[in-house]
Amino acid sequence: MTGYDLSDVPTIELDETEYDALRESGADNTQSDLMSEAVICIDELDNVVGSGSKISTHHNVGQLHRAFSVLLFNSEGKLLLQRRAADKVTFPSVWANTCCSHPLHCDSELEESNALGVKRAAIRKLEQELGISPSQISLDEIHFITKMKYSARMNASWIEREIDHILLIKADVDINPNPNEVSEIAWVDQQELEQWLIDEEGTKGIIAPWFRCIAARVMTDEWWSAAGDADACQSLVDGLIHDMGDISHMLPGAEGCDLFTAIAEVKPFVEARIERALTHTSSERLSGAMMHLINGGGKRMRATLPWLVAKAVGDTHSGLLDVGAAIETIHNFTLVHDDIMDDDEIRRGLPAVHIAYDLPTAINAGDAMLAIAFEAMVVADGIDCNDLPFLVKRIGRMVRRVSEGQQLDIEFESRDTEVTEDEYIEMIRGKTAVMFLTCGEVGAYLSGADEETVQCMHDWGLALGLCFQLMDDLLDIQSSTEQLGKPAGSDIAQGKRTLMVIHALKQDDSPAKQVLLGVLGKEDASAEEVSAGIDALQQLGSIEYGRARAEEYHAQAHQLLDKIPPTPALMALRELTDLQLKRLN
């Protein structure tokens, strides 16, 4: 690393946990030290939002940051490729473009005019990685062409999340690779690269996912002829950020991550979309009411589920996050109205919207959220206009089915005749399962999956949603008020005909059944009375029965996932399928 020392660049001190992660990865001292470099953290539009160490932006969830990829051509028109050293922390031993790294968070490399910052970073890294003297390449010879946004996970611990600035250079240079960075180099013409992309194992080895995207999806024939011609390079500049989504599946042997890491990768982007949509109003009070439950937290499972499904079965793009944000907004609209209809005063540990504000405002906020969800989805940049009829029909169906399910739930509470199990399943199919069903179906559809896969993910979402609601019913009586964020056993006091209650009411008369009947629907029931009602359900075998039915749907959901070819992202869907069981256990 002649002329390159960490004292010359901005760094961020690593903590012991980060050093432990590096030791676990087998990183040597040099590569570990480089992980302290301060890179540029950005938003989805490549606006600077701060800085972070290289390890913090690549470890576990990671963080979106600025990067660059150099494509260096020689006078024969051949492109220089490098094989990353086995010592690299991320993506070791894979073939990539000439040089791929990060501009650092310092004045010289933050400069965005004419992409000077990334160009300076490229000269710095070409010397550090390949031994190319800065005297052999001037800033004027480096041509910025376009940007590419992508995410690529190597395994559960390491990920790339970048907006990549792609640079073209034509120069004959002296190369002296740094063995700690580069294990091998190759010069290829266009035909040789195309053959390599088709048969990477049959040539020199695996191609890095980001370079595969550049070469196969961004780079055109004109790039090869434009290299070295300033005017031709300028004509290629498109002003775009090409959205590649998550491309982890392009790396053979890539491993997925757990559910909550997968959610956390995109959760901030979904929440930013929701906030942007719900605060885009002239009424501060209306905006506050709409944001009340959003600000109260939540896992955002429904919001991120279209993206997670698409990752598992096809391609991803930012439009999936817009659709997820719309579904999450609709979900929160239903919660606002549910709390009014159920007369619940607490939601997620906060006062319900109609309590925090007032009843008319809560109703109005829910109505506005429904309208805003469709509006935001229809104007989303990532959604093709040809997909809108499908999306509007499916999400419109979802809203209708939720309303139908809620109406059945209301009617069940005051019905003179018994509610049957089939009627209850039909109710929760609408009230709860249809949202999971829609997320699965829409996510698969927008990923470009075939009809059979779309139907499979529709059915998986249905089974998951039914399991989720049955488990939620169990959690209501087997968790504390603190865990639930609402009074424990409230379903019994409200007289809700859950599957367990339906089962209990079908049993022969007994003291336990009489205790249950005495508290069922008694809204002013004391905690002791509710507890006695729960004990009665246990004695009648209804809790065990409810759990058994939930486990049937749980098994069905896993059987449907078994039909999907293995991908790194499938792990998160399996963990989601198991989530409620784990919460109960």
Helices marked H in 479-510 — which ranges? 481-484, 490-493, 499-505
Tally of CB atoms within 10 A around 235: 11
pLDDT per position as a tens digit, 83-109: 999 989 999 999 999 999 999 999 999
Distance, in Å, from the CA atom of 501 to the CA atom of 491, rounded to the nearest integer, reads 10
Lowest average pLDDT, out of 43-57, 276-290, 306-320, 334-348, goes to 334-348
Residue type, 223: W
Instruction: Measure Cα distances from 479 to 92, 245, 276, 487 in Å.
Output: 46, 38, 35, 10
Burial of 509 (0-12, 13-18, 19+ CB in 10 A): exposed
For residue 236, the Cα-to-chain-centroid distance in whole angstroms is: 32
* Cβ density class 51-74: b for 16+ within 10 Å, e for less: bbbbbbbbbbbbbbbbbbbbbbbb
pLDDT per position as a tens digit, 534-576: 999 999 999 999 999 999 999 999 999 999 999 999 999 999 9
Domain 6-250 has CATH 3.90.79.10: yes
pLDDT per position as a tens digit, 28-70: 888 999 999 999 999 999 999 999 999 999 999 999 999 999 9
* Per-residue pLDDT, 347: 85
- Best CA proximity match to 409, nearest among 346, 361, 358, 472: 472
Instruction: Measure Cα distances from 583 to 204, 533, 575 in Å.
Output: 47, 22, 12
The pLDDT confidence band at residue 2, using thresholds 50, 70 and 90, is very low
* Per-residue pLDDT, 488: 63
Query: For residue 55, what are its two tokens?
Result: 């390890």
Q: Which residue ranges make up each domain of the chain? A: 6-250, 259-584
**Could you tell me what percent of the chain has a pLDDT over 90?**
80
407: CB partners within 8 A, 6+ apart: none
* Per-residue pLDDT, 417: 82
* Cβ density class 387-407: b for 16+ within 10 Å, e for less: eeeebeebbeebbebbebbbe
Highest-scoring range by mean pLDDT, 198-207, 341-350, 464-473: 464-473
Distance, in Å, from the CA atom of 445 to the CA atom of 348, rounded to the nearest integer, reads 32
Contact 199, 207 (CB under 8 A): no
The pLDDT confidence band at residue 496, using thresholds 50, 70 and 90, is confident
* Per-residue pLDDT, 414: 77
For the 259-584 domain, the top CATH level (class) is: mainly alpha
* Per-residue pLDDT, 506: 93
- Best CA proximity match to 377, nearest among 427, 430, 438, 336: 438
Distance, in Å, from the CA atom of 476 to the CA atom of 498, rounded to the nearest integer, reads 11
Mean pLDDT of all residues in 439-463: 97
Mean pLDDT of all residues in 484-506: 80
pLDDT per position as a tens digit, 142-192: 999 999 999 999 999 999 999 999 999 999 999 999 999 999 999 999 999
Q: Is the pLDDT of residue 585 over 70?
A: no
Contact 373, 274 (CB under 8 A): no
Q: What is the mean pLDDT of the chain?
A: 93
Mean pLDDT of all residues in 129-133: 97
The pLDDT confidence band at residue 485, using thresholds 50, 70 and 90, is low
- Best CA proximity match to 92, nearest among 147, 48, 148, 28: 28
- Best CA proximity match to 527, nearest among 497, 488, 495: 488
**Could you tell me what percent of the chain has a pLDDT over 70?**
97
The pLDDT confidence band at residue 1, using thresholds 50, 70 and 90, is very low
